[in-house]
Amino acid sequence: MSNSLRLGIAGLGTVGAALVRIVQEKHDMLTARCGQSVVVTCVNARSKSKDRGVDLSNLTWIDDPVELAKSDDIDVYVELMGGDGDPAYSSVKAALENGKHVVTANKALLAKHGVELAEIAEQNGLLLNYEAAVAGGIPIIKVMRESLTANSVTRVFGILNGTCNYILTRMEDDGLSFEECLKDAQDLGFAEADPTFDIEGNDTAHKLSILASLAFGTRIAPDAIYLEGITKITIEDIEAARELGYRIKLLGVATKTPNGVESRVHPAMVPLGSAIAEIGGVTNAVSIEADTVGSLMMSGPGAGGDATASAVAGDICDIAKSKPGHQHGPALGQPAHSLLPHERSQMRAHEGGYFIRLTVQDKPGTMASIATRMAEQGISLESIVQRKHKKSGDEDSHAPIILVTHETTEHAINAALEGVKSDGRLVGHAQMIRIEKLT
């Protein structure tokens, strides 16, 4: 065992248990491909007695993750507990300060402390690998950190949360409401009992902040991301989008602009038939646009024990193949101290086409009011669709109106909608969904 790469795994949930099984069952194959034997020596989890479907009998159980991270019996600390605070943060930091390479799948930890941890890793000549933290089994981190070093990236975007993609897919395929599809996702284990982190876009934002740092050489800045979830998407939006030749997806998008980096997470309409529109269910996809390679997209399983453990195992193998004393590449693509401050481009300046769904009073002058307010802001309309009138009791008839604009700014759209509202024509709230321009 002295010639083996020794792993200490903190967290034996779905991913941790799958990793133990992979290392045990595929030992000979991993040895051949990694250049040395890879073994699990120590583990940690909340419950020692829980049956995880893998053999832990020959492994050392260490109750404290920080002590595991410092143990002389490991060479690599594998953090699979999750969370941006302790014990994940303190244990990863302890591992790096005590000469242990680190592999983690923890996007929340990296979004909050990634630059600090990368700096410690670099100072100690260690690897901090985190392929599984973004898009599960898709090897996007390796591609951005290594394969695209000769490229200047202009935009990175994608579907980064399987829960949201599953819900939107079911809404379209089966004509069900958001609430019905969310419950179904929870019943199938695709959504947590408290799904807020996923459906409000926070999970996507954490992953996007890491991708943006790699793409543009800036410090990780999750708080600089415009955030909008999918809870307000209705079946009416889904149906209208399809009729107009679009499909609604929750996208994370980071774009380099003359005013800084525009980072945003929100529902977006993408053209039917485009590659990103065809990504259904819990599948993830990441697209990169760069000057040398052009445009490329990778898709695959964004979560799940085996897919995520596969990415973790790949990171471990990279460590096994590294040479002692060799200067390792920086965790965030370039030295942490050289990362630029994240200059945020405001969403009000975002340019693109927009889908707008209004419910307005069915009275003379309403359409004129809408046209006037749009014209005041220099907004050109590509199409106007008026739905069948609705009437409830003795109330005035309400007319659902759908507008699709040519390219304009977020600021202009918001100003025009405020004008329509001030004219007293609007019933309820306007629904506005951005139309993502694809190359």
What positions carry a catalytic annotation? 207
Tell me the pairing of strands 431-435 and 351-361: antiparallel
Round to whole Å and give the CA distance between 212 and 110: 13
Nearest to 435 by CA among 266, 255, 319: 266
Round to whole Å and give the CA distance between 77 and 5: 11
- Measured in degrees and rounded to the nearest 5, phi and psi for residue 111 equal -60, -35
Contact 133, 141 (CB under 8 A): yes
Contact 390, 427 (CB under 8 A): no
**Spacing of C-alpha 358 from chain mean position:** 30
How many CB atoms neighbour CB 342 within 10 A?
20
Joined tokens for residue 169: 């897919």
Contact 223, 111 (CB under 8 A): no
DSSP assignment of 35-63 equals SS-EEEEEEE-S-SS---SS--TTSEE-S
Nearest to 427 by CA among 388, 393, 394, 401: 401
Round to whole Å and give the CA distance between 165 and 203: 13
Largest CA distance in the chain: 85
Contact 230, 159 (CB under 8 A): no
